Structure 1
Amino acid sequence: MTTRISVRGFAVASATAVTTVGAVVGVASGGQQGTAEPAELAAADATLLADIPVGGNTETQTTSLSQQADSQSEAANAAAKKAAEEDARKQAAKDAADKKKATEAKKAEELEKKAAEEREKELAASRSSERTAPGGGDFPQQASYSVAEVKAMAQQIVGGGQFQCFSNIVQRESTWNYQASNPSSGAYGLVQALPGTKMASAGADWRTNPATQIKWGVNYMNDRYGSPCGAWEFWQANHWY
């Protein structure tokens, strides 16, 4: 950008002065042509003076533009740095959340696996302790059985690891009476099978043989609840099984 200096007055004054001098010279030399040349020169000088740029202002403007460019560059760099830091923060938070989620999922999986193994162990122990003897098997047939005799049968059939849970249920269902009958529901026997005819799958003598009833009861608890202790836990929460 070129800054022009207003020199109109100066140019006029210069032209006047030069004209005056030229007139004097012309008179002295006795010629008329010399009077126009100084005036034209003065006008040309005025035009040249008007086109002279102010060097100091141009330098200042150039410096200002350079400073503005530097400021804009610094601002852009700062914004880019801030954006990069924010992206890094978000990514770190996401990575931490994903890691926590994966850890929790793995922990839950391990707990479920451990619980399944425990259930399998209990079921295996219960099954291994069963005595599969249709019609009573090793237990001699009797006309009747005392509570002590029925409990002794149960201890052999159920096994020590699950007997107490089995006993807790039988005590509350029939008080160890293998002929207990519920006239309103039709439930029958030590474990109050409903209906009682279900126990025929364990032996045809299900009405009179406690061993047959115990065998059927253990199988039912294993199949439905995983073990007699599983059935007992359910019974405590619901008062039926």
Structure 2
Amino acid sequence: MHPSIPGTTPDTSSTTARSHPKHLKRFIIGSVAVLSITGLVAGGAFAVQSAADSRERVAATRALTDSTGLQRDQLGAYAGIAEAHTDKTASSTLAEANQVLASTEGKADASALTAVSSSLASFESMPIDLVVELTIETQTETAALSAAAAEADRVAAEAAAEAAAAAEAARQATLATTNTPAGAKAFAQSLASSNYGWGSDQFSCLNQLWQKESNWNYQAYNSSGATGIPQALPGSKMASAGNDWATNAATQVTWGLGYIKESRYGTPCAAWAHSQANNWY
């Protein structure tokens, strides 16, 4: 028998804490060392600790009690609270990391966050000090990946804005050319050939037809409501070729050629012949 120590109960556990460390795996409070609680149950039997170990445990417990004002059972309760809080923080940190990984896929290198969050996923079976360490590292890598993805988005948005500006500049340059009578004629001749197979003879008829209708002026407007180079009535008909029908000669020409092809005329020369005979087409 071990000698009794006043104010204590002899340790009768059958297995020492040293031989079954897994039973103590997560008992920790802040930066205070883990206390070996006497009387740990193992296999339903009890073993007796040495008198020296008992004295050390009693002294450590008393010192901690004196410094915190908490009794031994209170210390155990606070250890459980600390463990639950640590697990909750780890769980929410993992959830945020997974969300960031999903939302930033392909935008930045996620290997560091993937590795550390994979390690943290087993937090329920880890010592608390390791859980705390991995949680902090996961939070750091999550913030880093979010920042990298945000920078990638900024660069992509800037490139898209530059591309859009370049496209608009090109469109305006094209408009400046096509919206002149000469530019509209050149566009019409090219489109008539490529889309409908109409050669110079048909374009000669088209040129005379639209010269009579509008002088190839995309802003031409008749009191009847006829609008643009082909004098569509109403002008809004040309919206089928593009929403910019009121400001783009190319859109008007595209619609006008389609109208001639699909109408009873079929060709510019037939439309021109009808216009000469009836003063309209």
Would you call these one fold, judging by a TM-score over 0.5? no
Q: TM-score range by the shorter chain?
A: 0.3 to 0.5
Q: Which has the larger radius of gyration?
A: 1
| TM-score, reference length from structure 1 | 0.40
Q: Which has the higher helix share?
A: 1
